[in-house]
Structure 1
Amino acid sequence: MITWFHSWRAALRIARRDAWRFKGRSFLVLAMIALPILGVSAVDLTVRSAELSPRETLARELGHADARFTDPGLAGAPILQGPKGTDYSPAKDYSDTAWPSGSTDLRKALPAGATTLTDTTGNAKLRTTHGLLQTQVRELRAADPVAEGIMRLQHGRFPARADEVAATTQFLETSGLRVGSKLTARGLDTPYRIVGSYEVPDELNRAEVNALPGALLAPLDKALRTQGLDSSTPDATLLVSLPGGFTWNMVQEANTKGVVVASRAVILSPPADADVPLYQKSDWIGYRDNGQTDPAALAAAGTVVGLAMLEICLLAGPAFAVGARRSRRQLGLVGANGGDRRHIRAIVLGGGLVIGVVAAVVGTVLGVALTFALKPVLEGYLGARFGAFDVRPLELLGIAAIAVLTGLLAAIVPAVTASRQTVLASLTGRRGIRRSNRVLPAVGLAAVVIGAAIALYGSTVSDSYVIVAGGSAVAELGVVAMTPALVGLFGKAGRWLPLSPRLALRDAVRNRGRTAPAVAAVLAAVAGTVAVATYTASSDAQNRDAYVADLPYGAVALSISDDGGRDVPAARAAVQRELPVAVSAKIDGLVVGPPRCASDNWGKGCGTAEVVVPDANQCPLWKEGSGDKDFSAAERLKLRADRRCKDMTVYPPTGDTVVGDAALLKVLGIKDPGAEKALAAGEILSFDPLNVDTRGKIGIRLITDTHAADEARQQNKKVPAAVKEFTAHAVPGKPNSYGIKMIIPAAAARAAGFGVVPLGGYFSTTSMPSSVQEQRLTSALDTFGANAYLDIEKGYVGENNIVLLALGVFAGLVTIGAAGIATGLAQADAEADLKTLAAVGAPSRVRRTLSGFQCGLVAGMGVLLGSAAGLLPAVALRLTERREGENRYRQALTDGLNQAVVPHVPIIVPWGTLAALLVAVPVGAALLAAVVTRSHRTLGRRAAT
């Protein structure tokens, strides 16, 4: 008795032998299925290995300690905290009063029997082989067993004496030092010897130096304060060890003394939300991680996997169809010997199952091996070390099952088609006449319309990203369904083409069952790439627009306010000596009082100078005596568009009012001959037209007593000060002055009774200063013993250019691969036509050019349709984000927040990426196919009839 088991075993045996017989075609399909499986399995391993478990995270944060005590800076006031110690709030309600501020003695919260290890972090300027480098300093006894795991030693050892330090590999690479070198800090003459190098597992790119507690930061702070230099206050925490660990009750007891506790035992076994008093506060709006997966993320992952499977099926399906066509005589013999349709379907499906299983094994094994081999590279790219190499068999088995399922799905349509052929047609090789399906394009058109409507609804009415993504996916599937009909429309252009492209186009249209899936596969890949590229380019443009430059690109600002500007001339010379300076502009400062007031305008007898804005030019929202509650939301919205209410977003280090000359205009990139003439004539130059009244005058208020003026403002009284008027020249247009509102000629300032002292300078450069040049300049400025502020404008730095390049390369590879597959199948399927061309005397180059145009046409059609389909989801998502931003802006105005920022959510089409896809990829695919195609003639004998 022959059962289904025997028939399927025979079908699998035939499919295995057929796959082995046609190794080229089998390898092609296997590669198409295995490569995505390789990528998905590698991504799964990378994500799982990079995703630390709670124990691994605690090992890097606490070492072997049981808890970390942190001072929240609330002066010991009782607090409430979450189980992880990352969120906290005062236990008392301070809604009507200011929060307490001040340090807390962490040791007062220690329970009996606890041992501690101090962990202190601060910043210091350390001397390198190039100059000075701002570096984080961490004082922790890293060799103590309690601290094991927080730092990983690479070479040498951790410091054991007060004059020893260890450094991260990133610091050694940047500074040019090595293990065994001497290291000193700015302001401290004590030398330290570097005895080892280490890395911080969570931040491999951190430049850090490790010292024993009290060995570097405290002496450095004392020395800097003695020399009158700026010093920052270090942050100290305690690593606490206690037999039995810290329970939740012990954590709450420490909270009553104003200490935040991150407890190992509590984090591993957190209490219920009902037992956390912080979560029961009526005004608590903090974030709680419940450990559940975001449904939107699951939906997005499911959509990506589904589209990937669809793309593989579209690519592999024609290969199985051509294989079934090439094996039609064998399938005909099966039918002639008693096999029915289900046996033929089983044989073709068996081919998909065999190749799917092999692809699953090969892809999964290669994914695991490749991830393990590239582990150091991946860790360097992520900037953090993996935890354990986390191989999850069930997840890999699920990924492998996707490969098997994909192979079966790709073989379904060819199996059904092959089973419908008659035995006579299979044995004779006649295909018969097949009509185009008219239902599928209609369904596809309806899906496009419905999907686009859903996406637009989600972007204009709803705030759900899932609706936008779902509608876009439906529309893309509709375009895929319309692909055969669209390919037929492309065929109408064949009458105007030369011989080779006309033959290629007609062959593609005639064999839509082979061409349409390849075009659809290219369409799917390009649509996803265009969507992500458009969204990424738009987000990058938004971030770039939100970035406010302090200076023109590559320009340098120097400011020194110590000792009445005594060291400023030498500092200016150092900038010109160490950096590639093109134009130098000297900047002086206004002083009200003796020269010492240049560094401390709050000292006795010192005052300030303020610009007097005419009453008619003042913003009603910011006038003295006015409050945001005095205006309705509609009035605030209207006033936000008033030019008087545009807040200045750049605060230059030299102040908004400087004493300078026309050289400053050159550095700022302002070209205005009238402005240069005004400065030469002794007039004040104003970049803010609101500061100039209708008479062309500008007023400067001379406040001789800063303390008295501050008290008057607090009491809402008029500030006692004299106002002096100057003739002003308002620069026309809206030049970018980078926060500088006025430039006063030195002669005009002195004539008005102001003191003028050197303040710094602005410098334009011929090229962007390097890190080595910056370190050298910082070291040179340190020799003066003054607190110099140095700002180098490096411009907006985004990573999206790399993303766009990666997306373009990915889409190009997929497109070329899909077009190449379609071309190979076309050559295999049309071998008889090629032999006919050779028999009638066609030149050898026709075969090569025909292959090139076949490949280029498939790539071109797919790229063109994919580019159009990919714009919809990106535009819809950006419109959704624009609506959310506008809603937040209106809500902020309703709540009385006058400083709310008007949302700017642009939609940018990445024309460079589209041009590369529309032109370079099809042309490259055509040239590649033409190069690899053999052009020699192959004559065949006429088949016997």
Structure 2
Amino acid sequence: MRTWYTSWRAAIRIARRDAWRSKGRSFLVLAMIALPIVGVSAADLTLRSAELSTGQSVARSLGRADARLSDPGMGGAPVLQSPDGSSYAPAEDYEDKPFPDGSIDLTTVLPAGATTLTDRSSQAKLRTTHGLLSTEIRELKAADPMVAGMMPLVGGRFPQKADEVAATTHFLEESGLAIGSSLTARGLERTYTIVGSYELPEALDTDQVNALPGALIDPLDKALVADGMPGLSSDTTLLAAVSGGFTWNTVQELNAKGAVVASRAVALDPPADSEVPLYQQDGWGNYEQSTAARAAALAAVGTVVGLAMLEICLLAGPAFAVGARRSRRQLGLVGANGGDRRHIRAIVLAGGLVIGVAAAVVGTVLGLALTFLLQPVLEDAMGKRFGHFDVRPLELLAIALLAVLTGLLAAIVPAVTSSRQSVLASLTGRRGVRRSSRVLPVIGLIAVALGAAIALYGSTMTEQFAVVAGGSALAELGVVALTPALVGLFGRLGRVLPLSPRLALRDAVRNRGRTAPAVAAVLAAVAGTVAVATYAASQDAQSRAEYVASLPHGAVSVTITEAGGREVPAVRETVQRLLPVDVRADVARIGVGRSTCSMWDEAADCGFYEVVVPKANECPLNAVDRARPDADPAERFTKEERRRLADDWRCEHKPGPYLMTDGGLLVGDEKLLTVLGIDDPKAAAALADGKPVAFDRRPVDTAGKLSIRLVTDRDAAEKAANAGKDAPGEIKTFDVYRAAEGTKSYGVDLLVPPAAAKAAGMATVPLGAYYSTDEMPSSEQRQKLDGVLDNTGSDVSLTVEEGFTSENSIVLLSLTVFAGLITIGAAGIATGLAQADAEADLKTLAAVGAPPRVRRTLSGFQCGVVALMGVVLGSAAGVLPAVGLRLTERRQQLSWHENALDQGWGVGGVPFVPVVVPWATLAALLIAVPAGAALLAALVTRSRGALARREAG
């Protein structure tokens, strides 16, 4: 008795033998299905291995300690916290009383018998072989067993003496130092020896140095304060271990004493949300990922997987179709010996099943092997170590079943088509008359129109990106449905082409069942690439327009604001000696009070100056209402008045850059105009005559004068400000030359020549210099300069203007290469299938006297035709979603801009959100990719085929 099992077993055996007999075609389809499985299985293994269990996460943050206590800075007032300690709030309401402030001694709140370790960290600049490197300093007794798991030792040992330190492997790589090297900190003469290296499993790219408690931070802080520099700020926590651990009740008891606790016991067994008092307060809650967010994430993953399966089916389907046609005599014999249509369908479907199973096994094994071998590379890329190599068989099995399902789906259409052929047609090799579907193009047109309408609605009427994306996807699927009809339209171009391309085009049109899926696959890949490239290029243009250059391209500035500028002359000469300087312009600042005051010194004998803005030139939105000093601009002006004032020149928002000096004022000569690229002979003449130049018209009154107030009494100035009055001080007045409106001055709003400052009796302090260069300083020159400037002991601010650097150039190049590979691959697959399918036609050409090169050129043009059709259609389909998304962003940013105007906030001009088509990427896709595909196909095709034998009569 014959059963379905018996028939399917026979079908699988036939399919297996056919796949083995046609190794090239089988390998091609297997590779197409297996490659995504390799990627998905490797991604699953990587994500699962990088996902830490609660115990692993606690071990990395607490080591073997039971808890970490921290001071929230509320002076011991009771607090409420989340179970993990990441969120906290005061337990009482301080709306009508002062908010608590201060610190507590964490050791006094611990339970009796607790063992503790102090973990203190700060940030400082350490000297390296290259110069200075900002590094985290951590004082923790790392050799203690309680720390095990937090800082795994890589080499050497942890410090045991006060003059020893250990460093992370990343710090050693960045600094050029090694175990055994000496280490010093800027501002501290004491030398330390590096005795070991370690890593932070959760942050492999951290620059950190470990020392014993009290060995580095306190000495460095004292040394910096003694030199008149800002001291170090540090963060201190307490690792604690106690018998029985820290339960949730214990954590709440410590919260009542003002401490925040991250507990191992609570992390492993967290309380219910109803037992967390913090979550019961208004505005607080356990903000875990919502069900809607999870559903959206699953939908996104499902969409990506679905599109990937669609593309594989589009490419693999024609391969099964060609295989079925090449086996039509065998299938005809099955029918002649009593097999019905379902048996023929089973044989073709079994081919998809056999190759799908093989692809699942190969892809899964390769994914496992690659992930295991590349584990160090993946960990470095993610910046953290795996918890363990986590293999989840059920997930890998589901991924493998995806390959099997893809193989079966790709074989469905060829199976149905083969089963409908008559036995006579199969045995004689006749294909019969094949008609194109008239319904599919209509459906495609409707989908394109509906999708475009939805995308247009989403970009003009809503601010929802999902609407635009959904409409664009529907339109793209409509173009895919239209592909067979569009391929037929391309065929009309054949009458004007030479022989080989005409034959290739006619063959593509005649065999749309093979051509259309390959063109659709190329279309899908190119459309995605063009969409992302268009969006990236548009964002790039927006970022370029919004970029604010500090200086002209290649220019350099150096400033020192501390110690009265005594190091400035030496620094000026150093920069000029080590960089390719063309013009140097020295600049100074106005000094008030003691000559050794730094710019930010607030000592009583260190005054300051103010650039006086005439009342008529003050922006009403920013002006203080002395009758109501706390009144908000939204309360003082109507919406229409606020919008009108936003266009007033007095309220114009300048995007920068901004100088550190008040009013953007510098003391300098006409050389600074040359460095800044300001071509204004009248301004240069004014500076040479001792007359200040104003690039901002707000400080200049109607008489063309500028006023500067010198304030020597800081206390009196503060009292006047609190009373809404001007600060008391002597006012210096100058006649100024106002530069042309719109002159780009790179943050320099006022330029006062030294002669004018001296004539007015104002003291000046050297600030630095500006330089124009003959060429852009190289990396080696800058590194050498940084190393020399480190030796000055001053805080030197060095700026080298490199211009706007596009972050999307690599992305665009990668997308172009990716789309090119997909296009060439899809076109190559279609060409290989065409050659297998049209072998009889090629032999006929040879028999009628066609030269051998016709075979090679025909193959090349077949590949190029498929690639060109797919690229043209994909480029047209890909621009739509990018344009829609950019229009949506434009509406969104305009809405934000108008809302800011309504609120009276200081904002810039109308947002610039351009839509830019990446013509270079499109040209590479439209010209280089089809030409490359055709050339590659021609090169790998043999000029002569196998001789045809006459079939037995």
TM-score by shorter chain over 0.5? yes
Deviations 1:736-767 (A, max 9, x none): 43322111111111111211121122234556
Q: Give the CA deviation at 1:891.
A: 4.8
CA distance in 2, matches of 1:555, 1:726: 30
CA distance in 2, matches of 1:499, 1:97: 92
Q: Contact conserved, 2:653 with 2:906, CA < 8 A, in 1?
A: no
Q: Is residue 675 from structure 1 mapped to residue 680 from structure 2 by the alignment?
A: no
Deviations 1:182-232 (A, max 9, x none): 111122121111111222222222222111111111111111111223332
1:520–1:205 distance in 2 versus 1, CA, 3 Å: same
Q: Is residue 500 from structure 1 mapped to residue 500 from structure 2 by the alignment?
A: yes
Match among 734, 739, 743 for residue 747 of structure 2: 739
CA distance in 2, matches of 1:301, 1:252: 41
CA distance in 2, matches of 1:248, 1:275: 9
Q: Is residue 663 from structure 1 mapped to residue 696 from structure 2 by the alignment?
A: no
Q: Is residue 570 from structure 1 mapped to residue 544 from structure 2 by the alignment?
A: no
Q: Contact conserved, 1:69 with 1:238, CA < 8 A, in 2?
A: yes
Q: Is residue 652 from structure 1 mapped to residue 659 from structure 2 by the alignment?
A: yes
Q: Give the CA deviation at 1:863.
A: 1.4
CA distance in 1, matches of 2:19, 2:217: 71
1:864–1:210 distance in 2 versus 1, CA, 3 Å: same
The farther-off stretch of 581-590 and 665-674 is 665-674
Q: Give the CA deviation at 1:942.
A: 5.4
Match among 920, 923, 932 for residue 924 of structure 1: 932
Tell me, what secondary structure is at the counterpart of 2:189? strand
Aligned residue pairs total 945
The farther-off stretch of 80-89 and 894-903 is 894-903
Deviations 1:597-623 (A, max 9, x none): 455664335432222223333211101
Deviations 1:376-413 (A, max 9, x none): 11222222222211211111111111110110010000
Tell me, what secondary structure is at the counterpart of 2:480? helix
Q: Give the CA deviation at 1:149.
A: 2.0
Q: Give the CA deviation at 1:944.
A: 6.4
CA distance in 1, matches of 2:443, 2:85: 55
> Could you say which residue in structure 2 is the equivalent of 1:408?
408
Q: Contact conserved, 2:589 with 2:667, CA < 8 A, in 1?
A: yes
Q: Contact conserved, 1:132 with 1:776, CA < 8 A, in 2?
A: no
Tell me, what secondary structure is at the counterpart of 2:604? coil
Q: Give the CA deviation at 1:253.
A: 2.9
Tell me, what secondary structure is at the counterpart of 1:123? strand
Structure 1 unaligned segments of length 5 or more: list them.
Answer: none
CA distance in 2, matches of 1:905, 1:111: 60
1:382–1:901 distance in 2 versus 1, CA, 3 Å: farther
The farther-off stretch of 777-786 and 928-937 is 777-786
Matches within 5 A, 1:530-679: 530-543=530-543, 545-553=545-553, 555-599=555-599, 602-625=602-625, 627-628=632-633, 629-648=635-654, 649-653=656-660, 656-679=664-687
Q: Give the CA deviation at 1:867.
A: 1.8
Q: Give the CA deviation at 1:355.
A: 0.4
What code does the residue aligned with 2:769 have? G
The farther-off stretch of 903-912 and 470-479 is 903-912
Q: Is residue 21 from structure 1 mapped to residue 21 from structure 2 by the alignment?
A: yes
1:783–1:105 distance in 2 versus 1, CA, 3 Å: same
CA distance in 2, matches of 1:288, 1:538: 35
Tell me, what secondary structure is at the counterpart of 1:161? coil
> Could you say which residue in structure 1 is the equivalent of 2:111?
111
Deviations 1:520-567 (A, max 9, x none): 001111122222333334445555555544444554433223332222
State the percentage of identical aligned residues: 66
Deviations 1:309-341 (A, max 9, x none): 000000000000000000000001011111111
Structure 2 unaligned segments of length 5 or more: list them.
Answer: 626-630
The farther-off stretch of 548-557 and 891-900 is 891-900
CA distance in 2, matches of 1:739, 1:97: 43
Tell me, what secondary structure is at the counterpart of 2:190? strand
Q: Is residue 2 from structure 1 mapped to residue 8 from structure 2 by the alignment?
A: no
CA distance in 2, matches of 1:502, 1:825: 18
> Could you say which residue in structure 2 is the equivalent of 1:481?
481
Deviations 1:30-74 (A, max 9, x none): 111111111111112122222323322222222222222223333
Deviations 1:676-716 (A, max 9, x none): 23322222222223333343332223333233122211111
Q: Is residue 159 from structure 1 mapped to residue 182 from structure 2 by the alignment?
A: no
Q: Is residue 176 from structure 1 mapped to residue 176 from structure 2 by the alignment?
A: yes
Q: Contact conserved, 1:64 with 1:145, CA < 8 A, in 2?
A: yes
The farther-off stretch of 195-204 and 342-351 is 195-204
Q: Contact conserved, 1:204 with 1:384, CA < 8 A, in 2?
A: yes
Q: Contact conserved, 2:695 with 2:741, CA < 8 A, in 1?
A: no
> Could you say which residue in structure 2 is the equivalent of 1:356?
356
Q: Give the CA deviation at 1:911.
A: 3.0
Q: Contact conserved, 1:483 with 1:516, CA < 8 A, in 2?
A: yes
Deviations 1:827-881 (A, max 9, x none): 1111111112212222222211111111111111111211222222233333344
Tell me, what secondary structure is at the counterpart of 2:736? strand
What code does the residue aligned with 2:69 have? F
What code does the residue aligned with 1:640 have? A
Q: Contact conserved, 2:151 with 2:199, CA < 8 A, in 1?
A: yes
Q: Contact conserved, 2:118 with 2:239, CA < 8 A, in 1?
A: yes
Q: Contact conserved, 1:62 with 1:68, CA < 8 A, in 2?
A: yes
The farther-off stretch of 141-150 and 426-435 is 141-150
1:902–1:374 distance in 2 versus 1, CA, 3 Å: farther
CA distance in 2, matches of 1:461, 1:285: 34
> Could you say which residue in structure 2 is the equivalent of 1:518?
518
Deviations 1:75-100 (A, max 9, x none): 44433322222222333445577754
Q: Contact conserved, 1:441 with 1:482, CA < 8 A, in 2?
A: yes
1:535–1:101 distance in 2 versus 1, CA, 3 Å: farther
Q: Give the CA deviation at 1:175.
A: 1.8
Tell me, what secondary structure is at the counterpart of 2:596? helix
CA distance in 2, matches of 1:110, 1:669: 65
> Could you say which residue in structure 1 is the equivalent of 2:863?
855
What code does the residue aligned with 1:855 have? C
> Could you say which residue in structure 2 is the equivalent of 1:697?
705
Q: Contact conserved, 1:654 with 1:759, CA < 8 A, in 2?
A: no
The farther-off stretch of 695-704 and 884-893 is 884-893
TM-score, length-scaled by structure 1? 0.95
Q: Contact conserved, 1:131 with 1:777, CA < 8 A, in 2?
A: no
Q: Is residue 761 from structure 1 mapped to residue 766 from structure 2 by the alignment?
A: no
Q: Contact conserved, 1:856 with 1:923, CA < 8 A, in 2?
A: yes
What code does the residue aligned with 1:747 have? A
CA distance in 1, matches of 2:240, 2:554: 47
Q: Contact conserved, 1:550 with 1:652, CA < 8 A, in 2?
A: no
CA distance in 2, matches of 1:732, 1:31: 66
The farther-off stretch of 819-828 and 611-620 is 611-620
Tell me, what secondary structure is at the counterpart of 1:40? helix
What code does the residue aligned with 2:829 have? I
What code does the residue aligned with 1:58 have? V
> Could you say which residue in structure 1 is the equivalent of 2:628?
none
1:876–1:98 distance in 2 versus 1, CA, 3 Å: farther
CA distance in 2, matches of 1:513, 1:902: 52
Q: Contact conserved, 2:273 with 2:286, CA < 8 A, in 1?
A: no
Q: Contact conserved, 1:557 with 1:653, CA < 8 A, in 2?
A: no
The farther-off stretch of 372-381 and 263-272 is 263-272
> Could you say which residue in structure 1 is the equivalent of 2:204?
204
CA distance in 2, matches of 1:272, 1:280: 12
CA distance in 2, matches of 1:2, 1:583: 96
TM-score, length-scaled by structure 2? 0.94
CA distance in 2, matches of 1:751, 1:285: 65
Q: Give the CA deviation at 1:20.
A: 0.6
Matches within 5 A, 1:907-918: 907-918=915-926
Matches within 5 A, 1:221-240: 221-240=221-240
The farther-off stretch of 89-98 and 212-221 is 89-98
Q: Give the CA deviation at 1:792.
A: 4.5
Tell me, what secondary structure is at the counterpart of 1:482? helix
The farther-off stretch of 704-713 and 541-550 is 541-550
CA distance in 2, matches of 1:378, 1:243: 39
Q: Contact conserved, 1:838 with 1:938, CA < 8 A, in 2?
A: no
> Could you say which residue in structure 2 is the equivalent of 1:62?
62
